Amino acid sequence: MSAPQLRSTFDIVDGVRIHSLVSTGPADAPTLVFVHGLGVSTRYMEPTMARLTERFNVVGLDFPGFGQSGNPSHILNVGELAAVLRAWLDVRGIGPAVFVGNSFGCQIIVELALRTPERALGLVLNAPTIDPAHRSRLEMIWRVVRDLPNEPFSLALLVARDYLRAGPRRIFTTLDYAIADRIEEKLPSLTMPVLVVCGAHDPVVTVRWASEVGRLVGIERPGSAGGAMQCVGDAAHALPYDDPWTFAAIIAQFAGDARSPRV
């Protein structure tokens, strides 16, 4: 029997048409919610998502102004994007889930988990931004440029299309919001299991910073909700696209072990 296929769907959330990729797995399966990074759409996460549809309910949205979703009335900050995610979950009827974020998507799911911890069975933070040591627009742009040779050419084409759709004003304003968001101050307050995943060759989110994220979520703290870190030796920043087999296996193991969050 073949695995269920991801399909495009559209919903109206707070007056904006929101595009998402969804797949329905077994009736008792946990739900995995994929949350994309800055400037792009859920499409680059699709290779990993597709490898999880047989065992899980798998969903991921394009935020307003990105991908195939409609434009909001203004450019949304981290808190507003988390509110959109929460409203979209309500529209789709999605209960407690495991959230998988890549890059800037990690900031959004951390914000959501702090506001509504009962929604999160666990968080997978893949290449979580922003490293406080690189908290400037020029530094982040330079690091993204440095990452380009580490990524496949097909990803560059996909990202270029998404960037053109979003436009420079939305991308740079959202980057400023990401830089202003101090994730390091939020991580110690998370009350659900957290898995930090990094690529050994990622210049945007270094192994050093990923290790610090792990420390902040309580990997080494007795009595914490549970945390772990995994470094993928041949990966860079876009692990969901670069190595979907490895990332899917990591997520499946974590989702199978995740327990209900403490509130």
Query: Which residues of the chain have a pLDDT value below 50?
Result: 259-263
CA-to-CA separations, 247 to 70, 123, 156, 236, 250, in angstroms, rounded: 29, 14, 20, 12, 5
Q: What is the pLDDT of residues 38-70, one digit of tens each?
A: 999 999 999 999 999 999 999 999 999 999 999
Give Cα 8 to chain centroid, integer Å: 19
Residue 25: predicted pLDDT: 84
DSSP structural state of residue 11: E
Which helix (H) or strand (E) segment is 125 a member of? strand 120-126
% of the chain residues with pLDDT over 70: 94
Q: What is the pLDDT of residues 161-180, one digit of tens each?
A: 999 999 999 999 999 999 99
Domain assignments of the chain as residue spans, ordered by start: 7-255
Residue 185: predicted pLDDT: 96
DSSP one-letter string for 146-212: HHGGGS-HHHHHHHHHHHHHH-HHHHHHHHHHHHH--HHHHGGG--S-EEEEEETT-SSS-HHHHHH
Residue 193: predicted pLDDT: 93
Question: ∠ CA 82-250-193 to the nearest 5 degrees?
Answer: 50
| Cross-sheet strand order for the sheet of 227-232 | 7-13, 16-23, 57-61, 31-35, 97-102, 120-126, 194-199, 227-232
Is residue 25 within 8 A of residue 50, CB to CB? The reply is no
Cβ count near 108 (within 10 Å)? 27
CATH topology for 7-255 is Rossmann fold (3.40.50)
User: What CA–CA distance (Å, rounded) separates 82 from 14?
Assistant: 13
Cβ count near 3 (within 10 Å)? 14
Is residue 224 within 8 A of residue 218, CB to CB? The reply is yes
Give Cα 45 to chain centroid, integer Å: 9
Residue 259: predicted pLDDT: 47
Say whether 228 sits in a helix, a strand or coil.
strand
Residue 201: predicted pLDDT: 94
DSSP one-letter string for 75-124: ---HHHHHHHHHHHHHHHT--SEEEEEETHHHHHHHHHHHH-GGGEEEEE
